[in-house]
Structure 1
């Protein structure tokens, strides 16, 4: 089964009467409760405690509890492996050192050396059977102070083992002096991809599923590159494309010099212009947003003109903050990285700018679910009371889009 998982920052409420999705915290606790022999975590950095962020926040308790649970696993004979991006000079190492002392194996992946990027992936693999993938970092703020979205898949060893091959890529690159093999040995290759997804029933509904990966250098034979997957989802859309991302830039952000990188932007404009697809883009707006982002967003929104009947809308999503919450560093933002069309749900770990697809390691879960609609408007093939993951993702998008926290790009200054 597959479940949509969210972190809604403390103090945020939605008045549309929607049923909340399970929290990231409850999902991680759930996974920790089910683990019997192995846990693999792919992560960007670790700040699970107040000490790590030099804060005194009661809301860090959930992160601290997750870390406590993780520290006990090795003593129970569970194999814990953590792949983490090479820490920068200023990143705290307390959590990783504590995990190593507890018996966990930690490998740092020197992505700056290997590809010029970082390891930005965020996923958990439990017993080669269950998994979490999404926007949430190993950070207490990702549980209580940052808006996150991910997916948990339970009891699906086919998918878990395939995501495990992506983990093994990171693990292999985490040894000192590692270099990227060309090509990757056969044991890293997959048969599940854009062309031949894994066909299975998810929540009693037919689905075709695969994992994409970036950057291209880390893709073994058969693995769909993340950018290719994302563009394919846009290209296949005939009705609508709804996107929620923290940042959206048709440029690189971290290269010197910065480069123009219109791959995604061009595809959206093409979908709007050639196929009359309705595009909605919900972008995070916070104090760390790049100023160059806003003119590019306005440019995309400008394609929709009263005279053209093209449909593009861009809104900014702002997470409110009390005076105390505003003091928490790097918090109070919509950190989502997903897209939903009338056919597909795409749940990723990358922000939408060039570096994330060209140099930085990320991954995404792509679920195709084209359920035929019956005359009564109910989806056929769906168990009563459950909707497809694609429909659930659309509902989350609609809730956020029409909420008090979002504003049209034209009105936002």
Structure 2
């Protein structure tokens, strides 16, 4: 890994604990962000920037590496919007008032909310989508935005597919894209650990994602039913978007779920995940909040082994597998037997490597804030691809629930793969978390105040 002390000192706002001689493994993300990612009508470079949020009061070791702060990425996207903004979020709670909490950590959410409100007066057409059903709050965000000239629709996926609209993405000027784990929630910026990707100056990908937004928008019409025709996708696993820059060849496509609302030209989210697992040759690293091979939210529950089988098959091909699962007070206890079953296969004698850890965000003095202090990431990185999604790895998210995934495959000389590719950067983030003090081995899980999985 390259030492980049001068860069880190100059742009220390993107990193923490920078000192003389410290490595900053994701320095290239900041460079791309500052140098080549800002909008230009003459560029179509599809510059990719890893973004994340770290909950307040979480302190990593001094040499930890980070993506661009999610708060900064969102604010910058809003500041460059000139014509259109489309936003999809499962729910909206951008102020502490929405959940009856008086917390100073909601300040970034309030600032973003103010930026959103100001866009219509600047002649930017803003359209936002949210889910029915959704979480119960006292949020007035969408009502206020509508009063400011924002177009708002609620999509009743409960009626249409018996699921929810769980996608989280932005499209700015049909040029720039955000996809990731973060809802439009102030806690996503300061109290929940999130991860996503911003792709600048990439109209081909932005327009492909806009086809998904258009489908949702039509489904949000009053008393609507499933459409007879769905917008065709020209970018998929068989025909990815090809981008070449600085000795790196990138292939990108966007996957979707559930099958009921995806045209046959759209790669399904499940197929993207399973094929990524199946094509891995050396390693698979997964970070996801929930993992259970069942249909959880239907009655009766039923077994759903598609991803689980792919993982087991890969392990028997001697692919090294590491899984980082979140644990918090709202974790589903039913996932424990399935995780233990996977972990039981680990055997050096038989050359099977499946390691599983729980990631626990310390509650500290923030436990009064509901549905916070959790690792909400949903991504996978292998020696072949990086996958960043919006779905937990439970069966429902791929059968009835609307979600999207971004798949990136990159080829570069070995000397720059770790430093410059999204896959290399994402693995650096995974390793940071895997070896951090916030993880507990599945086999060592005991009674933990912030992870009450055990009775």
The answer to whether the superposition gives a TM-score over 0.5 is yes
Deviations 1:361-413 (A, max 9, x none): 0001000113242xxxx137x9xxx5111100000000000000011100012
The equivalent of 2:400 in structure 1 is 359
| Aligned counterpart for 1:261 among listed residues 287, 304, 315 | 304
> The residue matched to 2:198 in structure 1 has which SS?
strand
Q: Structure 2 residue aligned with 1:128, among 174, 178, 185?
A: 174
Q: Does 1:282 align with 2:324?
A: yes
Match of 1:369, SS state, is strand
Q: 242, 247, 250: which one pairs with 1:207? A: 250
**Residue in 1 that maps onto 2:371:** 330
- State the TM-score, normalizing by the size of structure 2: 0.86
Is the counterpart of residue 5 in structure 1 residue 51 in structure 2?
yes
What is the match of residue 308 of structure 1? 350
How many pairs are equivalent? 400
Equivalent residue for 1:379?
A: 416
Mapping of residues 395-410 of structure 1, within 5 Å = 395-410=428-443
The alpha carbon displacement at 1:266 in A equals 0.6
Alpha-carbon offset, residue 177 of structure 1: 1.2
Please name the residue that 1:144 is paired with: 190
2:336 is the counterpart of 1:294? yes
Shift of 1:182: 3.6
Contact 1:46 1:92 in 2 (8 A): no
Deviation, structure 1 residue 254: 0.8
CA distance in 2, matches of 1:122, 1:134: 6
**8 A Cα contact 1:46 1:95, kept in partner:** yes
Distance 1:61 1:362 in 2: 28
Give how far 1:145 is off: 0.2
Listed as ranges, the matches of 1:228-239 within 5 Å are 228-239=271-282
Where in structure 2 are the equivalents of 1:89-104 lying within 5 Å?
90-104=136-150
Is residue 2:97 matched to residue 1:51? yes
CA distance, structure 2, for counterparts of residue 202 and residue 272 of structure 1: 34
Return the alpha-carbon distance in structure 1 between the equivalents of residues 438 and 67 of structure 2.
Answer: 18
Are the equivalent residues in 1 in contact too, given 2:388–2:407 (CA < 8 A)? yes
User: 1:25 and 1:222, CA in 2 relative to 1: closer, same or farther beyond 3 A?
Assistant: same
Q: Who is 1:75 aligned against?
A: 121
Q: Separation in 2 of the partners of 1:108 and 1:225?
A: 23
Q: 1:318 is matched with which residue?
A: 360
**1:34 to 2:34 alignment:** no
Equivalence for 2:131? 85
User: Conserved in 2, the CA contact under 8 Å of 1:16 and 1:399?
Assistant: no
- Structure 1 unaligned residues grouped into runs of 5+: none
- CA shift, 1:88, in A, is 4.3
CA contact (8 A) 2:247 2:412 kept: no
Show the counterpart of 1:250.
293
Displacement after TM superposition at 1:175 (Å):
0.3
Q: Which moved more, 1:153-162 or 1:114-123?
A: 153-162
The answer to whether the 8 Å contact 1:123/1:133 transfers is yes
How many angstroms does 1:84 deviate by? 0.7
In the TM superposition, residue 309 of structure 1 has moved relative to its aligned partner by 2.3
Distance 1:159 1:314 in 2: 34
Task: Output one character per residue of 1:105-151: Cα deviation in whole Å (capped at 9) or x when no partner.
Answer: 00100000000000000001100000110000100000000000000
Instruction: Give the corresponding residue for 1:343.
Output: 384
1:11-67, Cα deviation, whole Å (9 max, x unpaired): 112115133211111000000110001100011000110110110110001001100
Give the match for residue 260 of structure 2.
217
* TM-score normalised to structure 1 length: 0.94
**Cα RMSD over matched residues?**
1.4
